[in-house]
Amino acid sequence: MNNPSNVPEMAVVLAAGLGTRMKSALPKVLHAVASRSMLGHSLDAAATAGVAQIAVVVGCDVPAVEAEARTIASQTQCFVQNEQKGTAHAVLAARSAFVNLEGIVLILCGDTPLIPADALIALREALVAGADLAVLGFEAVDPSGYGRILLDAEGRPAAIREHNDATPAERAIRLCNSGVLAVRSGIILASLLDQVRPDNAKSEYYLTDIIAIARARGLATALVTCAEEDTLGVNDRVQLARAEAVMQRRLREKALLGGATLVSPDTVTLAFDTKLGRDVLIEPNVVFGPGVTVEEGAVIRSFSHIEGAHIGRNAQIGPYARLRPGAHLGENVRIGNFVELKNAAIDEGAKVNHLSYIGDAHIGAGANVGAGTITCNYDGFDKHHTDIGEGAFIGSNSSLVAPVKIGKGAYVGSGSVITRDVAPDALAVA
């Protein structure tokens, strides 16, 4: 999505929260939703919205958060919030990045993995239309704990009142603050933040105070609304599970609308980047990790687990198959029950039907690997490669001790332990 204002633009992502309620050694924003960190989802939303620059505010002594940010967007600037003094204080940690910026600044949180890019685009469009500051809000079923957005007679944000500071009348308001907002320029944002004072129940510097400050200075504000679930923040494992459920529902709907069949959608777990082609059939209780592409007409049978794999057209997988990273399957391949593949290329029409492990290997077109076959790819120190030629037949319960090559059209007798190369069209019995 191109930047409609045609000016430099930045997103400041707040990711310095301690996340103590997660009760985890892992920083809160690195907990995953649909196999991607919550921080990753926020950064992706900003990138999809066309933001040109990213600044991430991280906490002290959490290098993993900075590493994750740079992995997702290599040009990300990271700033450390040394003390936890509130959301305005967190944004000020990145002040040097935007203080002279004439373009729009978006502020979002690293623990809101469901925020859609469309909401960020709508905020930006409100600024392009003339507002100096735009706030993203939502109507809450239960507003307890949220900051309330107070509107003026024209329906524009006049202030945001945090729950602890709100009057009983203000607490009855259901229009709540999402924590996401946008300011017309970094210069304006910096000047607003400089006026924030910790005059509240928590003695913190609230980012939300800049709305009232902006209005007092005669700046124009605007309200943009979204669905409540879009702004779901994650502070504990219960909320993390809720976010996962919402994300899975969205991913399943996208897959179904894209032409895939999910026999029992609620039992299928998808990753954020799962790609399913038209007329793909997914049976119940299938789990997709990240990095999976399934091409048109393929069938994934029940209780299969697939991660980092490419599955060709009309292939059939499972049931109870496990495809690990590096598995690449051609058209019409058959992978049967209790088969595990790792870093293996399986060419068109080849079959690995039962109870086999194929790792660090290449299997040629039309080859047949019998039940119980193992590629012995690890010698205790290094991994080695196995090459099975086109049309070869590997008898059941065979062990292929890598490095080894089975020639085109060769036949390996059942129960053999193969430690040497087998010539094309040869018979090997060991």
3-state secondary structure of 191: helix
Structural contact between residues 281 and 264, judged by C-beta atoms closer than 8 angstroms: no
Give the strand pairing for 261-262 and 175-183.
Answer: unpaired
Q: Find out whether 271 and 254 touch, Cβ atoms under 8 Å.
A: no
SS3 (DSSP) at 67: helix
Type of residue numbered 206: Y
Is 41 strand, coil or helix? helix
Q: Are strands 334-337 and 351-354 parallel, antiparallel or unpaired?
A: parallel
For 90, 91, 98, 186, 296, the CA distances from 94, given in Å and listed in that order, are 8, 6, 7, 11, 46
Question: Taking the mean position of all CA atoms in its chain, how far away is CA 165?
Answer: 35
DSSP 8-state secondary structure symbol assigned to residue 147: P
Distance, CA of 224 to CA of 211 (rounded, Å): 14
Active-site positions read 354
Q: Enumerate residues 6+ apart whose C-beta is below 8 A from 290.
A: 35, 36, 271, 272, 273, 307, 308
